[in-house]
Amino acid sequence: MKEIDEVKQILNNIYGDKKGKSAFERILPIIQSFDKKAGEKKEYFSQEDIILITYGDSLNQNGICPLNTLHQFAVKYFKNTFSTIHILPFFPFSSDDGFSVIDFSKVDPLLGTWGDINAFRSDFRLMFDYVLNHVSAKSQWFENYLEEKDPEKHLAIEANPAADLSDVTRPRALPLLTEYTKKSGNKVHVWTTFSADQIDLNFKSLAVLEKMISVLLYYVEQGATILRLDAIAYLWKEIGTSCIHLPQTHMMVKLFRKILDIVAPSVLILTETNVPHEENISYFGNGRDEAQMVYNFTLPPLLFYTFVKQNSNVLFDWAKSLEISSKSNTFFNFTASHDGIGVRPLEGVLPRSEIATLAEMVRKNEGNVSYKRNPDGTQSPYELNITYIDAMEDKRDADKKNHIKRFLACQAIQYVLPGVPATYIHSILGSRNWTAGVRQTKRYRTINREKLQIDTLLPQLKYPGTFRSQIFYPYLDMIKIRKNQPAFHPKAGFKVLDINSKVFGILRFCDDQQVYSVTNISSEPVTVSLPEKAVPSFLTDLITGERFNTQLLNLTPYQYVWLSSPVM
C-alpha cells in the first residue's frame, strides 16, 4: 500500500533508516488494528462549518455534571448555529486549566464521562485537543520516568543546565529547565517549555512515539473530527537551535496527517502555533501533507489594533495575504480563545511602539500583559490578557451602546474573512473581565475563563436590556445568516476593497453569489461608495433586509452591512 510506504519513509526521514525501521515496526500494528469508523473523505470545508470554543465546565448547574449542562445549553441555543464544538482539554490535569494532562485516556470525573462526551455527537461534530508537547509532572508516565521504568524510562528530555540554550525560542519568562530527582537519587534537569509542571515529551524515544500515536487514534475512536495539535511548534528539540519549527517537527505533522489519511481521512488537523504569519502558514506544508487548518493568529491582535486606531490600512494590507492556493487548506479564524491575545504574530506587521500602545489600552481596560524572555535576557509582551469584549471598550466613549456595536462589528469582520470562523463561548455570552478569578488564581489567563452558573446566566440572556442579551442574540442571528451564504464558503473567492481608512471592505464571491461586506471601524458616521465598476446601484443587506445605495453608502458608527448580489 503506497500510503503505508509513505509512513515508513517519513519515519526514516525523522529517525534515520535503522531507527526508522524500528519505529515503523512499532506503530504499524497500531495503524492496522484501528477500526476505520470515520468514513470516506468528504469535502473538507463548507460555509456551514462554524466552531464554538468552550471549556467543559464553562457552564455549571447544581447537581448536574458540567458536560451535561453544556450539552443541554448547546442543543437549546446552538443546534442550528455551530456545527462543531471544541471542548478544551477535558482530561484529568494538574495545572494550566487542563493543558497539563495527567491521563490522556480519561475524562476528568469533575466534568463527566466519555459517555457525556459521546452524547454531543448526535448534535455536533467534536474537536479535541491533542496535547502532545508535554505531560503533567503528576502523571503516572512521569512517575515511571523518575523510577526509570520502561517504557517511560526516556520520557523526558534531559539537558545540562550549563549548556548554551540562549538560542531557544521562549514563549514564557519562566526557566526552560526544571530540576527533578529520580528514585535512584540522581538529579536531572528536564525540559519544561511552559511550566515546571508540564514535562516536555521526548519524541526521540520510540516508546513516546508509540504511546502518542495510540492517543491520536484513540481520540478518533472517541469521535474527534478535528484534532488541535497544541503547542506543536516546540515539539522537537536540538540544542544549538531555536527549538521551534524544526524540520523534524514538520515531519511529525506529516506523519500524523499520513496516518489519519489512511485510517480516518475525514478527520482534520489544526495546528496551534502562536507565531508570525509566515511561520504559522508553514504548517500547511505543500497543501496536502501537513495541517488542513492553521489558527489565523495575526487576526485577533491586528483587528484589535484596527479598532483602537480607527484605521483599517494595516488590516487592508495584511488581509490581501490570505489567499491560499490549495483547496485542502484554510484558516481557523478567531478573535478570542481560552488564552489571551497573542502579540508575537504582529512581528513584522506593527512596530514595537504600536504593540506597546495595545498593551497600554489593555491595562486601561483592566486587563494584564504577559511577557516572554528574549535571547538577550530582556522581556517583551507575549500576550494581552483580557476578554475580547473588554478589549473593544473605549472608555472615552460616553455612549455605552457603542461598546456593543464595536464588538459586534469586529466579529462581523472575522466572519467574512476566508476561512472557518470560531467563537469562544464567553464572546457570544457577552462575558466581561473576570478580575475576581485572577485574584483567586494569581494567573492572568483566568480573566477570560470564568465558570458561569446557568441559573444566573439564563435570566441575563432572557431580558433584552442586559449587556449579555444585546450581544448574544444579534451574534446568533449573524451566524445563522452567514452559514446560509455560498459566498462565505471558506474557499470562495475574495477581494479586499480599497474604500476608506475608516471602513474595512471585502468582496466574497462564488459562482452563485457575491457579498460586499463593509464595516465602519470608527466612532464617526462615514459615507463611502463601493469601488467595483460592475456593482449594482442598490443592494440588499443580508443582516437587516434594508436596501442601500452602493454609490452613496451611509454607515453609522460601527455599522456593518453584508450587501448581497446574485451572480447573473
* Enzyme catalytic residues: 230
Packing angle between helix 17-33 and helix 206-221, nearest 10 degrees?
A: 20
Computed over its alpha carbons, how large is the radius of gyration of the chain? 24
Q: Which three cell numbers mark 93? A: 490535569
Task: Tell me phi and psi for residue 141, to 5 degrees.
Answer: -55, -45
Return d(Cα 318, Cα 298) in angstroms, integer.
9
Handedness of CA 269, 414, 385, 378 (dihedral sign): positive
Helix axes 2-15, 17-33, angle to 10 degrees: 140
Cα gap 198→191, rounded to integer Å: 9
CA dihedral 527, 530, 535, 540 (to 10 degrees): -50
Of 414, 371, 406, 369, nearest to 390 (Cα)? Answer: 406
C-alpha–C-alpha distance, residues 241 and 232, integer Å: 16
Q: Which residues of 7-26 are buried (b: 16+ CB within 10 A; e: fewer)?
A: bbebbbebbeeeebeebbee
CB 389 within 8 A of CB 471: yes
442 contact partners, CB below 8 Å, separation of at least 6 = none
Distance from C-alpha of 85 to C-alpha of 74, rounded to nearest angstrom: 9
Q: Which residue has the cell 540544542?
A: 239
Distance CA 89, CA 560 (A): 35
Q: How far apart are CA 412 and CA 404, in angstroms?
A: 12
Order of strands across the sheet that contains 368-373: 341-342, 379-385, 368-373
Q: What is the DSSP string of 515-550?
A: EEEEEE-SSS-EEE----TT--SEEEETTT--EEET
Please check whether residue 499 is in contact with residue 479, taking contact to mean a CB–CB distance below 8 angstroms: no
